[in-house]
Amino acid sequence: MSIDLALIGGTGLYRFPGLKDVERYATDTPYGHPSDAIVLGRVGGRRIAFLARHGEGHTIPPHRVNYRANLWALHDLGVRRVVGVNAVGGIRDDMGPRVLAVPDQIIDYTHDRLTSFSDVAGAQVKHIDFSEPYSATLRRDLLAAAARAGVAVVDGGCYGATQGPRLETRAEIARLRRDGCDLVGMTGMPEAALARELELEYACIALVANWAAGCGDEAEISLPEIYANLEAATKQVPVLVGALLGG
């Protein structure tokens, strides 16, 4: 089965609009069940796979996502390129609500997650090079596609991956800023590392839903505003993906 690209949709992206010849592929893996059935379809004649990270009904919190099963199921289908779409908070001044970014670095602040395929008895221990956590080739292709499609994206930035599901305190965001983080989200890890273990090309489209705590002008974070910002930013994703597949 030839699949040109897989998308893992985050908060606000539970279905990929405009898919043709849609099939649902329910599977199991040695690591348990994926978050949901994988949706297979075509965009402009190119075959893609789509998986809702939190399930189509957003029933799985970030720290309970079976990241290993998700990546294994996509790999088992023959996928070689994966784009993770992640809802994030903005820390850097140019990372405000509704901005799309393609980060190039990540810092992992999560804990108690199953972070490796080596975490089972008898598995090969793999020491991956994670100096550059995202595929340079896929990042370049995403940026070029954005330019062709007229979709504004920020090139680069450091994603701070936190545990969730709660949002962060002002002090925690101040620490992330001191550490060099430009964005904060809850699902960037271990997804990126697991993709590297499977030798998949992996990159992230970060959708900024809100200013992180203590950033911007807002006194507090409003959930209705978060969802409105995500809805607006998410509309750019099919345009960007279409350009990526057509380029």
Binding-site residues for phosphate: 11, 53-54, 187
Category of 219 on φ-ψ map: left (φ > 0), alpha (ψ -120 to 50) or beta: alpha
Read off the amino acid at residue 157: G
What distance in Å separates the CA atoms of residue 110 and residue 193, rounded to the nearest whole number?
Answer: 13
| Binding site members for substrate | 186, 210-212
Backbone angles phi, psi at 118, to 5 degrees: -80, -5
| Binding site members | 11, 53-54, 186-187, 210-212
